[in-house]
Every structure is written in structure tokens, then in C-alpha cells.
């Protein structure tokens, strides 16, 4: 089982859409995938058609499970995750797709408890995932867009971390901060957790013919900051954001069109980097400033 987190310290850059579409792309290729929604806003759940409402549903929140474990009460993850493999039924070679869902109140309470217990409690999710590793090939974690105990828990749970930025200056700073945070996880967990940074996805980008100076500067800045941008970026496409309303990731709704093809290509590059030393990673070429549009 390979666990990777999609993380950023800047909200609104497409972190959740990146998470669910990469996870769905893996499932579409035949893998057994678990999406973990660790963001109290619970948008990853919405993206795959799960919204926790009512007392019976709240009992299946990952926030409850984390609280129970932190208070030495054992809960079986298999009893609370949602099987969303029905989303794959039209694809012959697909694997499986499951979700660990959350909602705001229980996840916020879990965040407070993790903070209270200190950094030694941040490996809690990793330990729980290792207990069910025989069920999945990949786990993809959606994280809160801020520095918090939940973000630390997500990074500690991951083998690899991917960050996301839009072509704007604030997003570049958020991606750089995330990369720096990843480097401290091993020391802060006493060596128990050692996530590896894999690179940054440029999301909601414009076609090269429409690049302005800011977008060129951001792309070059990502290279200068050693953020290792992937060669494939995700263009602005309303089909991706609109898919939230249907509870079906865009990569499944439009598998034969641009969203499906782009995420499949991007996922392939992520998997390749997992097997290569950093010096062999392929990144985009630096852009000459005169290449920018008006």
C-alpha cells in the first residue's frame, strides 16, 4: 500500500479536485483505492457523492474514529468507510474506490484533541492505515489548506506528498511552505514517519498563448524554489469543478475527454517519480519572459 497526501497551505487552489481525480484515476486503472477526507470542510466526500448527515451518518465520520483512537478506544476502519466502487461500474478493468468521510464538528474536535496531545499523536492516522493495508493499493489523503494538527497528521500518514498551486504569487508561497513542512516530519515523529516530497501540480492554468507575466514568473519561481513542478498541468475546465455537483469525479464523467486524459497523464508522472531518484525527475523547461502574452 502506498499513501500519498495532496497538501497546500493556500486554500482555493484545487487541492480537493486534484485529490479525488487522482484517486479516481488510479481506481480507473484497476487499483484498489481509498480516499481519506481529512479536511473539516468535507469536500472530498461531496466530490464522490457522500455527505454525512444525521446521527447514524456522523457515527461514520473519520473525526469520530480519530477521537476514539486517541482516547485508546479501538474502532474498525472497515466499519466506517464508504464503498463508492459503483462509480466505476461502466469501466471494465476498474479496481475499487472507497472513502473515509468526515464532517466539520467531529473533525474539528479531533483536531483539537491531536493538538492537545502534542506532536507525538500525529502518527495516529498512519498507524490506523497500516492496520488495513491489505485492502488497498493506494491511499490518497485530502488535507486542510492551513497549518494545523490535522495537516501534520496527514503528512505523517503519507509516504509521499504532492502539493498544488494556481499560477498566482500567494499560491507559490503556500506550496513552498508545504514543501518545507514535509522536511520536518521525520524529526518531529522520532523517525516513525518519513514522507517524501514529490512535486507540485500547476492547477487551473491557462494555455501558453494566454500566459501573462505573472504566470511565467510563477512557473519559473516553482523551478527556482526547487518545487519540482510536473510536466503536465491541469488547465482551467468547468467540467472539473461542475462535477462536484454530481458527486462523480470529472476523471470518471469525462474519462475519454480532457479531464480524464490529463489526470491519467499526471498520475503516471507521479507514479514514475515514486520509483526514481530526484535527479531523474522530468520538469518543465524554464520560460523566457518574452514568451509571455500581453
Say whether pLDDT at 111 is over 80: yes
The pLDDT score that the predictor gives to residue 290 is 52
Distance CA 233, CA 204 (A): 8
Backbone angles phi, psi at 263, to 5 degrees: -70, -35
User: CA torsion angle for 21, 7, 61, 42 (degrees, to 10)?
Assistant: -60
The pLDDT score that the predictor gives to residue 55 is 72
Number of domains present in the structure of the chain? 1
**For the purposes of burial, counting CB atoms within 10 Å of the CB of 284, is it exposed (0-12), middle (13-18) or buried (19 or more)?**
middle
Name the nearest CA neighbour of 58 among 113, 107, 125: 107
Distance between start and end Cα atoms, the chain = 47
CATH number, domain of 23, equals 3.40.50.300
Name the nearest CA neighbour of 66 among 6, 11, 126: 126
Reported as a single tens digit per residue, the pLDDT across 39-83 is 999 999 999 999 988 776 788 999 999 999 999 888 888 889 999
The pLDDT score that the predictor gives to residue 145 is 84
The pLDDT score that the predictor gives to residue 146 is 76
Name the nearest CA neighbour of 148 among 186, 192, 187, 114: 114
Distance CA 159, CA 151 (A): 14
In a domain, 115, yes or no: yes
The pLDDT score that the predictor gives to residue 117 is 87
The pLDDT score that the predictor gives to residue 294 is 46
Reported as a single tens digit per residue, the pLDDT across 180-201 is 899 999 998 899 999 999 999 9
**For the purposes of burial, counting CB atoms within 10 Å of the CB of 291, is it exposed (0-12), middle (13-18) or buried (19 or more)?**
exposed
Cα–Cα separations (whole angstroms), residue 124 to 5, 26, 268: 15, 25, 29
The pLDDT score that the predictor gives to residue 289 is 65
CB 255 within 8 A of CB 88: no
In a domain, 148, yes or no: yes
User: CA torsion angle for 6, 150, 35, 167 (degrees, to 10)?
Assistant: -20
* pTM assigned to the model: 0.94
Share of the chain above pLDDT 70, in %: 98
The C-alpha cell at 19 is 485529490
In a domain, 55, yes or no: yes
Name the nearest CA neighbour of 21 among 273, 253, 272: 253
CA atoms within 13 A on the CB side of 143: 31
Mean pLDDT over 27-44 rounds to 95
What domain range is 62 assigned to? 2-161+241-271
The pLDDT score that the predictor gives to residue 110 is 93
In a domain, 39, yes or no: yes
The pLDDT score that the predictor gives to residue 168 is 84
In a domain, 250, yes or no: yes
Name the nearest CA neighbour of 292 among 209, 196, 221: 209
The SS3 of residue 36 is strand
Distance CA 101, CA 38 (A): 8
In a domain, 288, yes or no: no
Distance CA 227, CA 56 (A): 43
Name the nearest CA neighbour of 231 among 259, 273, 266, 264: 266
**More confident call, 188 vs 24:** 24
CB 195 within 8 A of CB 5: yes
Q: What is the average pLDDT score of the chain?
A: 92
In a domain, 280, yes or no: no
In a domain, 153, yes or no: yes
Distance CA 276, CA 99 (A): 29
Reported as a single tens digit per residue, the pLDDT across 116-175 is 988 888 999 999 999 999 999 999 999 998 778 999 999 999 999 999 998 888 888 888
Amino acid at each position: 500500500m502506498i499513501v500519498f497526501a495532496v497538501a497546500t497551505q493556500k486554500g482555493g487552489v484545487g487541492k480537493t479536485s486534484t485529490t479525488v481525480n487522482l484517486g479516481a484515476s488510479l481506481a480507473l486503472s484497476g487499483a484498489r483505492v481509498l480516499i481519506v477526507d481529512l479536511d473539516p470542510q468535507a469536500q472530498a466526500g461531496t466530490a464522490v457523492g457522500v455527505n454525512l448527515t444525521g446521527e447514524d451518518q456522523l457515527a461514520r465520520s473519520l473525526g469520530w474514529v480519530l477521537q476514539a483512537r486517541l482516547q485508546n478506544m479501538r474502532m474498525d476502519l472497515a466499519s466506517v468507510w464508504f464503498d463508492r466502487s459503483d462509480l466505476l461500474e461502466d469501466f471494465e478493468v476498474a479496481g475499487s474506490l472507497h472513502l473515509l468521510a468526515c464532517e466539520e464538528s467531529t473533525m474539528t474536535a479531533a483536531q483539537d484533541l491531536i493538538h492537545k496531545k502534542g506532536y507525538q499523536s500525529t502518527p495516529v492516522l498512519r498507524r490506523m492505515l497500516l492496520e488495513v493495508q491489505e485492502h488497498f493499493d493506494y491511499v490518497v489523503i485530502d488535507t486542510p489548506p492551513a497549518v494545523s494538527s490535522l495537516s501534520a497528521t496527514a503528512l505523517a500518514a503519507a509516504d509521499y506528498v504532492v502539493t498544488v498551486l494556481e499560477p498566482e504569487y500567494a499560491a507559490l508561497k503556500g506550496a513552498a511552505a508545504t514543501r518545507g513542512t514535509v522536511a520536518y516530519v521525520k524529526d518531529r515523529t522520532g523517525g516513525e514517519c518519513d514522507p517524501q516530497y514529490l512535486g507540485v501540480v500547476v492547477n487551473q492554468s491557462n494555455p501558453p498563448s494566454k500566459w501573462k507575466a505573472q504566470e511565467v514568473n510563477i512557473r519559473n519561481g516553482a523551478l527556482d524554489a526547487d518545487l519540482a513542478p510536473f510536466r503536465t498541468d491541469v488547465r482551467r475546465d468547468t467540467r472539473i469543478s461542475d462535477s462536484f455537483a454530481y458527486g462523480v469525479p470529472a476523471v470518471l464523467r469525462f474519462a475519454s475527454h480532457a479531464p480524464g486524459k490529463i489526470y491519467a497523464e499526471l498520475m503516471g508522472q507521479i507514479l514514475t517519480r515514486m520509483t526514481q531518484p530526484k535527479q531523474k525527475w522530468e520538469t518543465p523547461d524554464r520560460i523566457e519572459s518574452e514568451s509571455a502574452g500581453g
